Structure 1
Amino acid sequence: MTNRHEIAVVLGARPEITKLARVVRGLGEGTGIISTAQPDGELSEEFLLRALGLPQARLSLPGLGGSSRGVHIAKGIGRLVQYFEARRPRLVIVHGDTETAAAGAQAGNYCGIPVLHVGAGLRSYNRDRPEETNRRIVSVLADIHCTPTVYNASNLLAEGVGAEQIRVTGDPVVESTLEAAPCTVASRETLNAYGLAGGDFILATIHHPESTDNVLRLERTLRELASLPLPVVFPVHPRTAARVLEFGLEPLMDKLRHIPPLDHTAFLALAGSARLLISDSDGVLEECTILKKPVIILHDSTGRPEAVFAGFAVRAVRGEIIEKALDILADEYLSVNLKSVASPFGDGRATARIVTIAAAMARGEIPPFTNLDHDFRLGYELPFMDR
């Protein structure tokens, strides 16, 4: 059955759902959500979609989450190809660098359907990180690349992607973070529930394989967190909890204020009130630039160096956590200075730009450039957005 107006949005992990929620709502009827049902084992797909005001998924692929990467992608491609061949959507939208994005881009390409990649052009240049492989797979297959920053666009140009395929839109993380900003009664209740209303605490998150699967690295990180001068609130991801148990590191957790995983709004409530964040998540890195909070990055490389350039983030690896944290906490001017620094990831209008681009592609039109495409317009007789 062909649906001439359908736009298929393929998502599954929590960051994809939260970032694309406004895009789905902006595209309106005719947008079909396809979910791989793998929001990190923390919260159900149904809960996340309902909480973000999104319609029920038209296709759910249970059982993919938790399998190996290769099996996950292979199963996803097979099921998605079946759906795309039956429905023939006009456009496939994928986001970021997950296995879901890699499967969605490949399935769309195999079926001859245009693919729009949101959050394109990020590079850590670290092939040991699974997301780097996924990014490169999608970048080869996408027809249009919506990049958060000009820096991301330059990465794609350097790899041979044509300028006519690139649109600098900003990142929807700005809008999604502001929409769920910790300024509600529920946010205050979250702080009170954990005895953190005073705001004198550090918030830490650890869940990437490179941080958790090496016993020596995980043990060193937990020891350093436990030695910091402020209470460390530590929402424990299921992967991290499993490794702590496997490696016998439970005694180190006693010195941390470890709590269950949080939904997005509750996490932002804590993040917006913390003195400092320590994380191996690039998503948290993005959010800190919007919440105006300093963050220590725990991994060796990041796909968001703009946060470092802007002064929000510093790297701390191999025993540097305590030193870096003490420096940040001792800087009495840092928090004031960060409040005046704009997030490098957009001006809060990324969603509107992406919706305009997606709608044009679904109509079979060449999508307009944006007003952020300063260096990529010349020589192209294409329309431009007025925002």
Structure 2
Amino acid sequence: MNHLINTFPSRSVAVVLGTRPELVKLAELIRTLGPAARVLHTGQHYDDDLSGSFLDELGLPAPEYLTGVGGRPRALQVANALAGLDERFAAEPPLAVVVQGDTNAALAGALAANARDLPLVHVEAGLRSHDRAMPEEHNRVLIDRLADVLCAATPDNRELLLAEGVPAERIAVTGNTVVEAVRRHRPRAEDREAVLAEYGLTRDGYVLATIHRPENTDDPAVLAVVLGELAGLAHELPVVLPLHPRTRVRTEEAGLDPLLDDVTCIPPVDYTTFLALAGDAAVLVSDSGGVQEETTVLGRPLVAVRRSTERPEALAEFADLVTPGLGISTAVHRRLAQGKAGLRRLASLPSPFGDGHASERIAGLLTQVVRPSTAEGPRGPTAPHAVRPHRSAPAVFAGV
């Protein structure tokens, strides 16, 4: 596979992203593609705390940045990113486009690829919450309808796609790239101890919380309930809250700052520090989809504060799904009551999201979309060319 990727022209595979989770989940694939990767960042996460420092930490090449996207309403984010990507694809057409997940950046990348008739690979395809109130649900469904290659993280994701009528030959079960991200970036034990010492924490003796979704932050009454639950827990054991910019602003606007008096609020942290904190927490409280996956690799319990989830695989053992209210502290106490034995049991379980080779498999699928030409042509006899899979063609991409 690697020798085929080495034949790709420089900057021939466009990897479109715009948020911190996308940087994390696509980092290993970008490294695998090497000079062939052309990273385009829409700036959906425009705060340097959320994206800027991650580029250095993850060792990624400097991306091409679009302007006029970050901080805009959803429709303008998609429209402006689509216009910017179309302009760049027209000037320098890639041989394939890769998008990940369900962000506005991913949808814009998928639409731009479709408009230019470029092969589209969707990483983390087939997630479904069946919650039409969730903007990401609309994004992921649309991207899956446009994609030529759908990289499903789990067999359940594949079954959902098949049930929606996606041909089996377009779907491959690759695993989730988050597994290799966590394994690569989780610090060694001595470094984790140093992080805990910095914050005055002890292993298995604190709660780590992350809250940022609009459903939990945009309604002051709901936000007050969530922060109130965290404040109550903080009377029993330390609660550490890396404060997302949206949550910080909404808390200030609603006059809810006193609810944070007993919570240890810290700025957003780099990925390595987050994994150090998450991997030694007694329990996590979060509304993040990515954290639902990461805790299965770290072997830690999670209370997911959401109406619904597109990652039910985590609920089997690792996570409890609750809506804002007393269910948060109840679920936390239930997990705490399981003690060290409960933590050991979770640590012994495999992650349902794969074996840590997803990026390698996705790169292999790219070699089927962009493969060496055997015919003489303007690119030369062995240069790669794009192969747009026919949607009704016989099987090209088999499930892994």
How high is the TM-score relative to the length of structure 1?
0.91
Deviations 1:142-191 (A, max 9, x none): 11100100111111111111111100000010000110113265433322
Match of 1:207 among 201, 212, 224: 212
Residue 47 of structure 2 aligns to which amino acid in structure 1?
A: G
8 A Cα contact 1:5 1:362, kept in partner: no
Aligned to 1:271: 278
Q: Tell me the equivalent position of 2:60.
A: 54
Work out which of the residue numbers 2, 5, 17 in structure 2 matches 1:11: 17
What does 1:1-387 correspond to in 2, within 5 Å?
6-39=12-45, 41-43=47-49, 45-57=51-63, 59-183=64-188, 185-228=190-233, 229-309=236-316, 311-317=317-323, 318-332=325-339, 333-363=341-371, 364=386, 382=396
2:175 is paired with a residue whose SS is: coil
Deviation larger for 178-187 or 222-231: 178-187
Per-residue Cα deviation, 1:126-150 (whole angstroms, up to 9, x for no partner): 1111111110111111111001001
After TM superposition, what 4+ stretches of structure 1 lie above 6 angstroms from structure 2? none
Q: Which amino acid aligns with 2:238?
A: P
Contact in 2 for aligned 1:42/1:261 (Cα 8 Å) = no
AA at the equivalent of 1:244 = T
- Give ranges in structure 1 of 5+ residues lacking alignment: 368-378
Indicate conservation of the 8 Å contact 1:4/1:89, yes or no: no
Post-superposition Cα deviations, 1:271-299, rounded to whole Å, max 9, x if no partner, equal 01110000000101100000000000100
Q: CA deviation at 1:252?
A: 0.6
Quick one: distance in 2 between partners of 1:214 and 1:66?
Answer: 19
Report the equivalent of 1:372: none
How far, CA to CA, are the matches of 2:335 and 2:48 in structure 1? 31
Q: Cα deviations across residues 73-121 of structure 1 (Å, max 9, x unaligned)?
A: 0011111111111111110000000000000000000001010000110
Cα separation, 1, equivalents of 2:61 and 2:11 = 17
Counterpart amino acid of 1:351? S
The secondary structure found in structure 2 opposite 1:93 is strand
Give the CA deviation at 1:320.
Answer: 0.6
Kept in 2: contact 1:293–1:335 (CA 8 A):
yes
Report the CA distance shift for 1:286/1:50 in structure 2 as closer, same or farther (over 3 A): same
Contact 2:16–2:39 (Cα < 8 Å) also in 1: yes
CA contact (8 A) 2:17 2:105 kept: yes
Structure 2: distance between partners of 1:13 and 1:253: 26
> What one-letter code is carried by the residue in structure 1 that aligns with 2:287?
D
Please name the residue that 1:374 is paired with.
Answer: none
Q: Supply the distance in 1 between the matched residues of 2:146 and 2:395 (Cα, whole angstroms).
A: 24
Equivalent residues of 1:42, 1:237 under 8 A apart: no
Separation (CA, whole Å) in 1 of partners of 2:53 and 2:332:
35
Counterparts in 2 of 1:251 and 1:383: CA distance versus 1, 3 Å: closer
Number of the residue aligned with 2:377 = none
| Cα distance change, pair 40–252 in 1 and its aligned pair in 2 (3 A) | farther
Secondary structure of 1:336's match? helix
Deviation at 1:38, TM superposition (A): 3.4
Kindly state the Cα deviation for residue 63 of structure 1 after the two structures are TM-superposed. Answer: 2.9
Higher relative contact order (CA 8 A, sep 6+): 2
Identity between Structure 1 and Structure 2 (%): 43
Cα distance in 2 between the residues matched to 1:101 and 1:383 = 22
Report what 2:378 is aligned to. none
Asked whether the 8 Å contact 2:195–2:276 carries over to 1, the reply is yes
Write the letter of the residue equivalent to 1:121. Answer: G
Do the aligned partners of 2:104 and 2:139 also contact (CA within 8 Å) in 1? yes
* Cα distance change, pair 221–381 in 1 and its aligned pair in 2 (3 A): closer
What is the CA–CA distance in structure 1 between the aligned matches of 2:397 and 2:305, rounded to whole Å? Answer: 42
Cα deviations by residue, 1:327-348 (Å, 9 ceiling, x for unpaired): 1101133112112211000111
